[in-house]
A and B are shown apart, each in its own frame.
Chain A
Amino acid sequence: MNNSNTPIKAIIIDDEPLARLIVNEYLQSYPEITVLQECGDGFEGIKAIQQHHPDLIFLDVQMPKINGFEMLELVEDPPAVIFTTAFDEYAIKAFENHAVDYLLKPFNKDRFDKALRKWLDQRATRPTDLLTHGAPNNTDDLLETAAQSPTQQQRIVVKTGGKIKIIPLEDIHFLEAADDYVKIHTHNGAFLKNRTMSYFEKTLDPTQFVRTHRSYILNVQQVTRIDPYEKDSHLCILQSGAQVPVSKAGYVKLKTVLGL
């Protein structure tokens, strides 16, 4: 339970060297915290997290290729996160309730100390295993909130065979539930993503993506034909030739979105 002797492992992820420098500088007064690595983008960040299993990361939001939220989505058992961002306050306020602190750039030492003190106090009073792996529910909530902001979710980031793939939304044909995963069908093949159907239903643009069935969400741009199927249900034929089942309730939703 007493962590004071074991060093705390931290990683700084920010694309601006000077922004990393200042976090490093402020951390000088915390000898118990060791910065294991500094990363300039999300790809490096994921690799470093997998390699070092840090206790805490300082994470910028706006970064090349994949942003901080997208990076976090791809990390299994994400560590505790303190966001450092110039994101406007309103956007970042939404994450306040998810127990992850955020530092608005530029921030001073007092504000930095407050954030770190808060985390250190929680760490001292809570069981270690919960903390080293962050609080999974909080991270899920955080990502859902992040994905709902209008600037987000122009694309979906997935990991496939160790590589990171960015799928623009217009490339998606449909989504299919697959046990604990969601299978994303695109014209470059299908990818698995560790999220729920309701997560995608909530975060994707409802005028473009419709949940036509308990296990299916489809991109309305891809629809070429809707055929009657069994009693009360339909079958949607996509441009790719794929057939997606449409339930009774799903058919009503689909008709509204298509303006029929």
Chain B
Amino acid sequence: MAKSPLSQSKFLLIFLSWWAIWAFLQVSLLIGFGLAIDDALVDSVLSNTLVALSCGFLSNNMQYYLPKKERYWYILFISLGLSAIILLACKAILVPLLNQKDAAYALFFNKSWAVRFDIVFLQVGCMAILSVLWYSSEEEQENRQRRNDAERLAKEAELFKLRQQLAPHFLFNSLNSISALIGSRPEQARKMIQQLSDFLRGNLKKEEQQWVPLSEELQYLELYLDIEKVRFGHRLDTHITCGEDCMSSKLPPMLLQPIVENAIKFGLYDTTEAVTISIRARVENNFVVIEVENPFDPETSRPKTGTGFGLTSIQRRLYLLFARTNLLETRVSGNLFTTIVRIPQTQTP
């Protein structure tokens, strides 16, 4: 909940100075109208103190009850009511007190009540409006903060989920291959268990914030491709081309593997022949550009240009990370489908 502005010493000081200035002005004014100095002082201090107390009370209470937009006219009534109470209190205290010395005081008070009411109403009204503005803006700020927090949490959760999308097909089919190898080639089964464990471990430990060098991502990719080759060895061939200059380029972890997985899936399931998946990386301006190419059958599949095939989660992740939608591109030429991803190298969180 928003704290009252008067709870901050800076604002309290301003408030008190304000009170002093008003009190001083009122004393001068009353002397000008012919009141004795001590009478003027008593009158001014008392009435201004009452106003200050009311203002403090008003601003304090508004932290518990803030009128809604359509009820702003409540402020008017509250200010009017408070002003009337202040004026009545002034009269009840000042007139009996000061009239003993100066018989003209009661008359003077009666003549000046309308002006006094005006001034008090102005002061109380201003305070009420200022308080409303203050609390509304505090509330707004709190809401924005909460919204930002919620958004950040949602974004983190979504990124986590997008990163962790491990195709169950891949896992269960790999386990099935291991099961088959155990009978005939136990050594190879053991090797594949090792590879699968390394792959899963890599999948588990990676954090979004820790970018990894391309060389490491490619190593991880080899691991994945080796497993896929045990399953589809007779049909699957891969080519990785990567210059020395891009080896040290950084990219978010687990970004390449789903793209390659997608390419393999469409390459292998859209044709019955042997399939070559090509992965090429190069540095271009401030970007590292990675192309993944797979064959497909243009007769039966219609990759939509833009995000095509199953690349929407990659697109989403790039958007969440960079707030850009033009980092993922797909191209179709003949029976080759190419996915191109560009990772900016300037910012490295």
The reply on B100 being an interface residue by CB < 8 A is no
For the complex, what is the distance from the CA of A88 to the CA of B178, rounded to whole Å?
A: 19
The reply on A141 being an interface residue by CB < 8 A is no
The reply on A65 being an interface residue by CB < 8 A is yes
For the complex, what is the distance from the CA of A72 to the CA of B301, rounded to whole Å?
A: 21
For the complex, what is the distance from the CA of A128 to the CA of B173, rounded to whole Å?
A: 35
Query: Are A65 and B172 in contact, with the CB atoms below 8 A?
Result: no
Query: Are A106 and B272 in contact, with the CB atoms below 8 A?
Result: no
B184, B232, B300: which contacts A16 (Cβ < 8 A)?
A: B232
- Produce 1/0 per residue, B153-190, CB < 8 A to A: 00000000000000011001101111111011000000
Given A18-B231, A21-B184, A62-B169, A106-B271 contact (CB < 8 Å): no
For the complex, what is the distance from the CA of A62 to the CA of B264, rounded to whole Å?
A: 14
Query: Are B271 and A64 in contact, with the CB atoms below 8 A?
Result: yes
Interface size classification for chain A: 20 to 34
Query: Are B183 and A25 in contact, with the CB atoms below 8 A?
Result: yes
Q: Which residues of B have CB within 8 Å of A130?
A: none
Q: Which residues of A have CB within 8 Å of B181?
A: 18
Query: Are A21 and B180 in contact, with the CB atoms below 8 A?
Result: yes
Query: Are B172 and A106 in contact, with the CB atoms below 8 A?
Result: yes
Q: Which residues of A have CB within 8 Å of B246?
A: none
Given A62-B169, A64-B270, A65-B271, A22-B176 contact (CB < 8 Å): yes
- Produce 1/0 per residue, B42-68, CB < 8 A to A: 000000000000000000000000000
Query: Are A86 and B173 in contact, with the CB atoms below 8 A?
Result: yes
Q: Would you list which residues of chain A between 148 and 189 have a CB under 8 Å from chain B?
A: 155, 166, 168, 170
Interface of B is mostly: helix
Q: Which residue of chain B is the closest to A63 with respect to CB atoms?
A: B269
Query: Are A64 and B269 in contact, with the CB atoms below 8 A?
Result: yes
**A residues at B contact (CB < 8 Å):** 15-19, 21-22, 25, 40-41, 43, 62-65, 86, 88, 104-108, 155, 166, 168, 170
For the complex, what is the distance from the CA of A105 to the CA of B170, rounded to whole Å?
A: 11
Query: Are A105 and B172 in contact, with the CB atoms below 8 A?
Result: yes
Closest chain-A Cβ to B173's Cβ sits at a distance in Å of 5
The reply on B152 being an interface residue by CB < 8 A is no
For the complex, what is the distance from the CA of A17 to the CA of B235, rounded to whole Å?
A: 10
Interface size classification for chain B: 20 to 34
For the complex, what is the distance from the CA of A107 to the CA of B177, rounded to whole Å?
A: 11
Q: Which residues of A have CB within 8 Å of B251?
A: none
Given A18-B231, A86-B172, A86-B173, A65-B270 contact (CB < 8 Å): yes
Q: Which residue of chain A is the closest to B184 with respect to CB atoms?
A: A21
Query: Are B270 and A86 in contact, with the CB atoms below 8 A?
Result: no
27 interchain pairs, CB-CB under 8 A: A15-B232, A16-B177, A16-B231, A17-B233, A17-B234, A18-B180, A18-B181, A18-B230, A22-B176, A22-B180, A41-B272, A43-B272, A63-B269, A64-B268, A64-B269, A64-B270, A64-B271, A65-B270, A65-B271, A65-B272, A86-B168, A88-B168, A104-B172, A106-B178, A155-B300, A168-B301, A170-B302
Closest chain-B Cβ to A23's Cβ sits at a distance in Å of 9
Q: Which residues of B have CB within 8 Å of A166?
A: 299-300
Q: Which residue of chain B is the closest to A41 with respect to CB atoms?
A: B272
A65, A106, A155 — most chain B CB neighbours (10 Å): A106
Given A16-B231, A86-B168, A88-B168, A105-B268 contact (CB < 8 Å): no
Query: Are B176 and A105 in contact, with the CB atoms below 8 A?
Result: yes
A19, A43, A104: which contacts B180 (Cβ < 8 A)?
A: A19
B176, B179, B268, B300 — most chain A CB neighbours (10 Å): B176
Q: Which residues of A have CB within 8 Å of B173?
A: 16, 19, 86, 105
B231, B268, B269, B301 — most chain A CB neighbours (10 Å): B269
Query: Are A168 and B302 in contact, with the CB atoms below 8 A?
Result: yes
Report, nearest first, the 6 A-B pairs whose CB atoms are least far apart. Answer: A86-B172, A105-B176, A22-B180, A18-B180, A106-B176, A166-B300
Query: Are A18 and B300 in contact, with the CB atoms below 8 A?
Result: no
14 more CB-based (< 8 A) A-B contacts, given A65-B300, A106-B176: A15-B232, A16-B176, A18-B177, A18-B180, A22-B176, A25-B180, A40-B272, A65-B269, A86-B169, A86-B176, A106-B178, A107-B176, A108-B179, A170-B302
Q: Which residues of A have CB within 8 Å of B269?
A: 62-65
Q: Would you list which residues of chain B between 281 and 303 have a CB under 8 Å from chain A?
A: 297, 299-302
Q: Which residues of A have CB within 8 Å of B234?
A: 17
For the complex, what is the distance from the CA of A184 to the CA of B178, rounded to whole Å?
A: 44
- Produce 1/0 per residue, B203-236, CB < 8 A to A: 0000000000000000000000000001111100
